[in-house]
Structure 1
Amino acid sequence: MRVRSSRIGSSLLAAVLLSAASPALLPAEQADAAPGGRVCFFRDAQGAKGAGHVAWAIRDPRNSQRWIWGSTDNAEGDLATLPGRNNGSWMRSGSWDALRASLKPDPGRTKFLYDAYRCINTAGGNLAAAERTFRAMRDNGYQIAYNNCLTKAISIFRAYSPALSKAHLPNGGAARPNSYFGTTLTKHARGWEMPHTYTPIHKK
């Protein structure tokens, strides 16, 4: 009986994740306002000399109007940053519109800094756990292949929702952010929406 109950519980959990994350259910703006947990990658396809760069965003499951978001921007511009030094990690909080006004174009570039985003819904989430993990990622240095903008974002997402297992959120070590965003999440992960075109809000 215990084995059967465990299998039923696992099936129900998978069903909740997959049904909640289906891109056919709602347009992007409606999905962003729906209740429950939600995490998103934002992609800068031109970042890291063409390898790509990602920011992350997480919705408060108890308040659909509140998000936290951030990134690790490799402040020193080196292949590695020692723990305790500034690795360019930052985090902000606010509404979805505030997020879109925050992730702006870099003044020195001809295209938007972030050009697309893709998300997955979850049945719930632990915002405090995500914030604690962000602080740990902020303080543990930087390494271009295995401790970077992508792997740190994955750690933050998994802390927020342990249901985001490797089946939904594969490891990102040694992966180019562009390849992970475009290929891995499409062909090797479950439940992710297809990319949405990202258009930031320009506030005066």
Structure 2
Amino acid sequence: MTQVTAPVIGALALLSTGMVTAPVKAEAATLGRVCMFEAPRGAYGAGHAAFAIRDRSDTRRWTYGSFGSTNDAPKSGWIKSGSWDSVRQHFISVRDKDHNNARYYTRYRCVNTRDGDLKRAKSWYTTVKNRGYNVTTNNCLHMSMAVFKGYSETLRKDTRLKSATGWTPNNYYRDVLPAARWETSHSL
């Protein structure tokens, strides 16, 4: 017969009364996530960029928007929130008025971040929008990158994410994002 010692009896008593519980499994913090949506034929072939950012406190909710395209909203820009399905459905549904109503947005790239501040991203959206649209210094690519870098300090400090000035959305999407280790391009 196995002899049970006093310390074992005491530990069993504490466990049975609920005063001591099993160790709680540590949970990793929810990653941030951003996605750039692209319309390659936008802006007469230079491309058009839009953004989506995930809410870290409710990973089923995204904030998404754009600036400077007359195909999906006035040039002054727009911003919405919803599920990932609503994000995809919005970008799939936009039609290209200049190209026989073909699908405007056709692809996107995403990247996870270890941080993400939705409130700060929205503040940057407002700041860029209030500056007014300018094709060379405050366009759809500037807006998207400002939102991404406002959302994530990690992205803000990533030197591989070059300034949007001097880049077309198509070239930035094709050259800069992959060099910064964003995911491969996904088709819509």
* Unpaired runs of at least 5, structure 1: 1-34, 76-85, 199-204
Structure 1 residue ranges (4+ consecutive) displaced by more than 6 angstroms after TM superposition: none
Amino acid of the residue matched to residue 171 of structure 1?
S
- Structure possessing the higher radius of gyration over alpha carbons: 2
> Residues of 2 paired with 1:44 and 1:146: CA distance?
19
Q: Paired residue for 2:111?
A: 120
Aligned partner of residue 143 in structure 1, secondary structure: coil
Instruction: Return the TM-score normalized by structure 1.
Output: 0.70
- 1:93 — aligned with what? 81
Say which SS state the counterpart of residue 35 (structure 2) adopts.
Answer: strand
Once the two structures are superposed, the pairs formed by residues 35-184 of structure 1 within 5 Å of their partners are 35-74=30-69, 87-103=75-91, 104-106=93-95, 108=97, 109-164=100-155, 165-184=157-176
1:14-33 to 2 correspondences below 5 Å: none
One-letter amino acid of the structure 1 residue matched with residue 167 of structure 2: A
Number of residues of Structure 1 aligned to a counterpart in Structure 2:
152
In the TM superposition, residue 180 of structure 1 has moved relative to its aligned partner by: 0.4
CA 1:197–1:74: 2 relative to 1, 3 Å:
closer
CA RMSD of aligned residues (A): 1.6
Distance 1:64 1:37 in 2: 9
Letter of the 2:166 counterpart: A
Deviations 1:87-129 (A, max 9, x none): 4210000100111122223164343111110011011210000
What SS does structure 1 have at the residue aligned with 2:136?
coil
* Structure-2 separation of matches of 1:156 and 1:107: 24
Higher relative contact order (CA 8 A, sep 6+): 1
> Residue 76 of structure 2 contacts residue 133 of structure 2 at CA under 8 Å; is this kept in 1?
no
* Conserved? CA contact 2:96–2:103, under 8 Å: no
Q: Which amino acid aligns with 1:145?
A: T
> Gapped runs of 5+ residues in structure 2?
1-29
